[in-house]
Structure 1
Amino acid sequence: MSIFGSITTSPLISSKFQFRSRVVVAGSYQRYLRNTILRHCASVSTMLDSSSSADLPDFEVFEGEPELPLYTRRPSAGCSTVLVGRQQRKFRYSVEKSLAGPGITLTVYGDSKISNELPSFMAGDRVAGVVQISVNNGEDIRAVHISLRGRVLTGRTSDAVCTFLDLQETLWTEGSGSLEANVHSTNESDYIWPYSLVLPKDVAISQVDGEKEQVFPLPHTFTEPGVPARVQYELEVFLKQTKWKRNRRIATEIGCFQSNPNRIRSGYIPSTSSFQCAEADGVTRWKALDFDLTGIISQFHSRTVHFFCTLSLKDPLCYTRGSYIPLLLKIRSQDKQALELISSPDAAIVQLNRRINYKDVQMCGGKSSRWSSVVETVGAVTWKSHEGTLLEEPVLAEYSSTIIGKVKLKRDLAPSSVIANMAIEYFISVHPFSSPSFQPKDNKSGSLLSQMVQITTDLSSLSEYE
């Protein structure tokens, strides 16, 4: 049974995605999972445009205080982060009561700071809400369960699914007491149960049977067009009925965001003097990466020229989405004319590349070693200034030129992540310089230099996390 629905938007987020919330009966779970194509939010500080999709159950979104009381933090070192003092947003998904079975309403309280079309949470948060069952005959109900699963999907078959998170809670069974103890206060034909599931900050996965488990940070929700691999979190209510009745389910995706313990934000464009001071006083603020470039200059007269280059990135190599990566490129050569040509901001090509590695079938089974990669450019340097100086060497004079720039990081970039059979990695790459009068000697199309960097999420400006 399908009921159309739509959801309001929030002015907090600006990228686009689509999602489906499904109602299925027993035996159809694999079918709807295979047919699902999701696009998830990768940013909490941009706004998502409203989108609607057919074949959705009814749902509503409410701003304001939840019906449930707020949770308090347990006084233990390893306790979860709960939505204390943070505004919550109520999401409600439902399937109507019919001859096929009871109606089910799933209510989820997401963090309003990061929730738009999906209820969303940080790693370590509690996923809490209410399950309400509207029955024709309470005697038909045998059990009510709720589960939260996290999966990496790298294909269309069940073998391409790796479940890294499986949280379950039994809300009621025949053996747990009378169903009437959970009757709704205003409607005797409705029954209600609160639920609470804690998202861990880390998960342990055994990649091959019999081998020691590896611990991974809970991955960020990830789905993008053109990338077969995705990370999906699904909250599901399962209603078990008598053997004469078909079991019923209602499910929806939720968003999960990594918590960034590193509060360092890149937002500082250096000057050459500050760079030199950092070298002089011994303070490590930059990571220097050296590479050489050899080519033929055709201007005035053809000749082979050698360049000695240093790319400096602000250290540590960890940058926040929505900010930028400051960098300096210093080029040295004994040929002044060649240096002037090659040190033009239009000639130096520095890019931010993303590589997504994924295994075609379930890594947890350890039956396949086939890996695939999707590599794309997600940012390019913008050079801000240029200056040249003459350096005196004991034997010969050497000229140098330094250009300063930055790589803007989009707010909707998926953060760096590694989980079981999928990895999202970012690299700063320097490519052969482009100039009409210069031809690289090796004429290589690959990069001259590649340095891995970490892209993270920082929500400190949006909400207070302990």
Structure 2
Amino acid sequence: MSTTTDLPPYSELATGDPHTAHESLIEDSHQDHGTRAATPCSEIVTGDPLTPHESLIQDSHHDYSPRASLPLRSMEEWEFEYKIERNSNKGKNIASLKVLAPAAYSDNIPTFCGAGPVKGSVNLYFTEPETITSVVLSVRGGFLPGDSDGTTQLTLFNVSNTLWSKDSAEETRDPLLCHKKLRGTHSWPFSIIIPEKIQLTGGSTTRSAAETTEHFLPQTFMERVFRASIQYKVILHIGRGKFKTDHNINCTFGYFLLIRPPPFPALKTLAYLERTPLLDPAVDIEGWIPAKKVEISGILFKSRPVAIDCELFLSAPLIYTRGSVIPLYVRMKSSEKPALDLLATHKALIVRLQRRIKCALSPKPLKNTQNYRTGKDEYDIVEAVWWPVSPEQGSFAIDTQTHTVCLNGELQLRGDLVPSSTLPVFTVKYNVSLRSVDAPGFKTAKPEKILVEHPVDIVTSFAAGPLAIRHVHPGSACQERLAVT
């Protein structure tokens, strides 16, 4: 038996780190057997809890003043209540499930980070003696492959806690029991730890292979355009014996895990601390990762064949926090200066962050196989913005026959990106891709849409040390043409 983990290389699990770019994970899900009301509870001081709804990166523009220090804030808890009401007497409850969740993470639904815990209380209200066989609370996570009736799913984990049963030793000591029936009001607090890691055998539900792999729980995932989902629930089951319908309350909750990347290399850390431009890859070798070098060939002005050597650099390490940025650097060389002139604009070079999701669970056992989408779901997240290199970085020429143009760029990451995951049945991967150039007067010789593709990981917590600096105002365009040497 072998064991592997899906944590990105050199990254680490962040414990108790509030610096996360988390936003609302999924939409409000109304339950069939209850309603939800949220009220604030007592505050818990956590030291330095930057709430996930705040801006999480520093900006070099005067419009966005950098935060000199992170303020001390309190962590509230919100109570979400789900109820079963009596049919004959509306407003009177039979049972209620109350879930407490951090207000910083929770919006429409309770949301938990890491091990949680998931805590709250179960309450029963009986005006007459009621036959109850058991009261069981479960916290469950599952992968739903797209079956519309929800009957087929892969259970990622299931932690159950029997709060009461008619065969328990407490039965004889409960003064409210009458002939093995419950009456009056009963309340049970609960606190259940979420397992941050799970083990899967064989990589699919067939379990044919002996290999066991260990994986971190994936974040809650529900999107209208993609039928497969990752869901987490608190389930209250009240058994009522033979010939009676059991009571059930389902509470859908959001989940995410704090994973931090390694610190920035030394020179990049210094640049962020002193708020100076990032150094050229030729100077800061450890601070940049070169992608595959490509030659862009084409026809200039419908008459002259030209070739441009293009090299894309990504900021090291290749693990980025959502809500932050991916710094980029491009160096292009050619003997044809007019060709570089055409590409020396922010719109000519197209670099995008692409998300790829793949579901590997076989659709054979599904009742409605037409609702299951196999293969990859690819989606372009954001396109890079570009601006001229600073005088400190500079452009250079190899010889008098070769001209060079260098560009600084960045991909601005949304705070609600789904983090990378290599769960065998549900993988989430990201790539930074250089697309075919788009410049008037220049027609590429090869029709390939993607020239360079480099994998990256997206995580949920910031690295130790300074935050990355965003150099471009969100939504702005750097239209200044770049200097060619």
TM-score (norm 2): 0.72
Q: What letter corresponds to residue 123 of structure 1 in structure 2?
A: G
In structure 2, relative to structure 1, the CA distance for the partners of 1:189 and 1:228 (3 Å cut) is: same
1:272-291 superposed matches below 5 A: 273-279=279-285, 284-291=286-293
Residue 19 of structure 1, aligned match among 25, 28, 31: 28
* Deviation readout 1:390-437 (Å, 9 max, x if unpaired): 4234xx631111000111101121111222311111110000101111
**Which of 123, 128, 138 is 2:119 aligned to?**
128
Alignment CA distance shift 1:309-1:162 (3 Å): same
SS at 1:448's partner residue?
A: strand
SS at match of 2:342: helix
The unaligned stretches of length 5 or more in structure 1 are 1-11, 25-56, 71-84, 462-466
* Corresponding residue of 1:448: 451
- Alpha-carbon distance in structure 1 between the residues aligned to 2:463 and 2:300: 53
Asked whether the 8 Å contact 1:61–1:91 carries over to 2, the reply is yes
Q: For 1:58, what is the secondary structure of its paired residue?
A: coil
Judged with a 3 Å threshold, the aligned counterparts in structure 2 of structure 1 residues 460 and 135 are, in CA distance, closer, same or farther, namely farther
Identity of aligned residues (%): 23
Q: CA deviation at 1:362?
A: 6.0
Which of 199, 215, 226 aligns to 1:204? It is 199
- Residue from 165, 170, 174 that aligns with 1:173: 165
1:97 counterpart letter in structure 2: R
- 1:391 equivalenced with 2:397 (yes/no): yes
Deviation at 1:188, TM superposition (A): 6.9
Deviation of 1:143 (Å): 0.5
**Change beyond 3 A, Cα 1:401–1:246:** same
Supply the AA of the counterpart residue of 1:438.
Answer: F
Distance change (3 Å), C-alpha of 1:389 and 1:102: closer
Structure 1 CA distance for aligned equivalents of residues 278 and 146 of structure 2 = 49
Q: Choose 286-295 or 231-240, whichever is displaced more.
A: 286-295
Written as runs of structure 1 = structure 2, the 5 A alignment for 1:45-444 is 57-65=34-42, 86-98=75-87, 103-156=94-147, 160-179=152-171, 181=174, 189-206=184-201, 207=204, 208-211=206-209, 212-262=211-261, 264=263, 271=277, 273-279=279-285, 284-299=286-301, 302-359=303-360, 361=362, 371-386=374-389, 389-393=395-399, 397-444=401-448
Q: 2:58 — aligned with what?
A: none
Higher relative contact order (CA 8 A, sep 6+): 2
Aligned mates of 1:327, 1:62 — CA distance in 2: 45
Compare 88-97 and 228-237 and name the one that shifted more.
Answer: 88-97
Q: Work out the CA distance in 1 between the residues paired with 2:122 and 2:294.
A: 63
Change (3 A) 1:276 1:364: farther
Question: Contact 1:160–1:362 (CA<8 Å) still a contact in 2?
Answer: no
Distance 1:15 1:359 in 2: 27
Partner of 2:482: none
- Tell me the distance in 1 between the aligned counterparts of 2:168 and 2:365: 35
Partner deviation per Cα, 1:276-330 (whole Å, 9 max, x = no partner): 3313xxxx1110113223333333x722211111111111111111111100011
CA distance in 2, matches of 1:124, 1:364: 32
AA partner of residue 382 (structure 1): V
Residue identity matched to 2:191: S
Please say if residues 220 and 231 of structure 2, whose CA atoms lie closer than 8 Å, have aligned partners that are also in contact: yes
Number of positions where the alignment pairs a residue of Structure 1 with one of Structure 2: 390
User: Is the 1:293–1:440 Cα contact (8 Å) retained in structure 2?
Assistant: no
Please give the secondary structure, in 2, of the residue aligned with 1:341. Answer: helix
The CA deviation at 1:264 is: 4.6
CA drift of 1:359 comes to: 3.2
Show CA shifts across 1:173-223 (max 9, x none): 112134564969xx9711111112110111112223243322111110111
For 1:408 and 1:435, the matched residues in 2 are separated by: 23
Distance in 2 (CA, whole Å) between partners of 1:130 and 1:63 is 16
The amino acid of 2:31's aligned partner reads R
Q: Tell me how far apart the structure 2 counterparts of residues 329 and 414 of structure 1 sit (CA, whole Å).
A: 27
TM-score normalised by L of structure 1: 0.75
CA separation of 1:372/1:210 partners in 2, compared to 1, >3 Å: closer, same or farther? closer
CA pair 16-290 structure 1, distance change in 2 beyond 3 A: closer
Q: Residues 325 and 392 (structure 1 numbering): CA distance in 2 closer, same or farther, change over 3 Å?
A: closer
Q: Which residue of 2 aligns with 1:76?
A: none
1:87-132 deviations in Å (ceiling 9; x for gaps)? 3221111111346997110011111221111111112221111000
Report the AA paired with residue 189 of structure 2.
P
**RMSD across aligned positions (CA):** 3.4
- Change in Cα spacing, 1:432 to 1:196, as seen in structure 2 (3 Å) is same
Find the aligned partners of 1:451 and 1:327 in 2 and give their Cα distance.
12
- Cα distance, 1:13 vs structure 2: 8.2
From the superposition, tell whether residues 251 and 200 of structure 1 become closer, same or farther in structure 2 (CA, over 3 Å).
Answer: same
Q: What is the DSSP-based 3-state SS (H/G/I as helix, E as strand, rest coil) of the residue aligned with 1:375?
A: strand
How big is the shift at 1:160? 4.5
Shift of 1:233: 0.4
Residues 182 and 191 in structure 1, CA contact (< 8 A), matched pair in contact too = no
